[in-house]
Amino acid sequence: MKNIPSEIAHSVPQRPPWRNMMLLIGLILLGMSIGNMLAMGAIVLLSFMHGKLSLEQITQMLQTPEQFPYAWWYLMLLQGVSHFFSFFLPSIIYWKWSEQHRIEEFVRRPLPSYLVLAIVLLTVIVFMPFNSWVIEWNSHLHLPQGLQRLEEWMSGKEQELARMTQFLTNFDSVLKLIVAVLVIAVIPAVGEEVLFRGIIQRKIFHKIGDVHLSIWITAVLFSAIHLQFFGFIPRLLLGGMFGYMYVWTRNLWAPIFAHFVNNATTIILVFLAHRKAINFDVENTESSVPWIGALVSLALTTGLLFNLKMIVNRSSASTNGTQ
């Protein structure tokens, strides 16, 4: 059980695994429905101040947001509320209902040391050049000839998501930057890591007993749920990295912080690019780093991750030795 988070090693599920999974999926689907309804209702109410929007107009706004005033704010509200109800709230309800934990146990869990957080921060930043190279490579992948229609559908969905992402990240005010960091970095970092690393990865480990396999199965699910085929592998690698951070630090705040740093850094770079503070197009997947730079990035990332593991192990051994 070495290097396994205590909640992985000791929190044995009381129900059969399939019942736990069905319960979790049900809570996610219910939360997703409630979140979307609440967000739509809030948008309708708020729109009274600027000209009432019907549900049909809101649906149209999702397709062509640039044609609607205040669409950026409405869509950020929709994104934040939907994500909170789809990921974080179902996870906390499941955590309390199925595993009989108290909410205080999650809120009051200790943070990693400053040294661990610093290494996590540096690892995520150092990993970005390699991940950018993978993003460009993944964007040029093609399915076999017989799956051409599926690839066309995936490409269409990818373009829709890209247009929405470009719209939501097209801002130059500090207030919008703060809101974007909250909605795109803070809420997903907490919600997705609690669900995928804090619950799903643990459940898979309980079932198969293999740490590495549970990390990568969870990473596949983490990437697949974003429905971006042409960004599947880079997000898979991020999910794997977050999974190892969770296992090696034995603390869920480590992958939460890493997830936040990854998203927030991208948002801040886009913000600076729009304000002409940096001369770099973050959103252009064609501007990849050279392969030698990608290899250096990968080597440094690997070294930092294993250094993180050794530091945590050394700290644990020192703590056990003084008890």
pTM of the predicted structure, to 2 decimals: 0.86
Q: Which of 8-22, 102-116, 198-212 has the highest mean pLDDT?
A: 198-212
1 part of a folded domain = no
Contacts of 118 (CB under 8 A, 6+ apart): none
- Top mean pLDDT of 51-55, 78-82, 313-317 is at 78-82
Domain count, the chain: 1
For residue 74, being part of any structural domain is answered with yes
The reply to whether 229 falls in a domain is yes
Residue type, position 181, single letter: V
Count of C-beta atoms within a 10 Å radius of residue 80: 19
- Is there a contact between 312 and 116 (Cβ–Cβ < 8 Å)? yes
In whole angstroms, give the CA distance from residue 182 to residue 79: 11
Any domain includes 67: yes
Q: Report if residue 193 sits inside a domain.
A: yes
> Is there a domain that residue 272 lies in?
yes
**In 10 A of CB 310, how many CB atoms?**
11
Tell me whether residue 299 is in a domain.
yes
Does residue 164 or residue 75 have the better pLDDT? 75
The pLDDT of residue 116 is above 80? yes
Residue 252: strand, helix, or coil: coil
Residue 237 lies in a domain: yes
Range of the structural domain that residue 312 is part of: 6-321
Provide Rg for the chain, Cα atoms.
21
pLDDT band at 226 (very low <50, low <70, confident <90, very high): confident
What integer pLDDT is reported at residue 58 of this predicted model?
78
Torsion on CA atoms 108, 113, 116, 121, rounded to nearest 10: 70
The pLDDT tens digits of the residues spanning 156-214 come to 777 777 778 788 888 878 999 999 999 999 999 999 999 999 889 988 998 888 999 99
User: Residue 52 to residues 35, 42, 56: CA-CA distances in angstroms?
Assistant: 21, 12, 11
pLDDT per position as a tens digit, 25-38 = 899 999 999 998 99
Q: How many residues does the chain have?
A: 323
pLDDT band at 12 (very low <50, low <70, confident <90, very high): very low
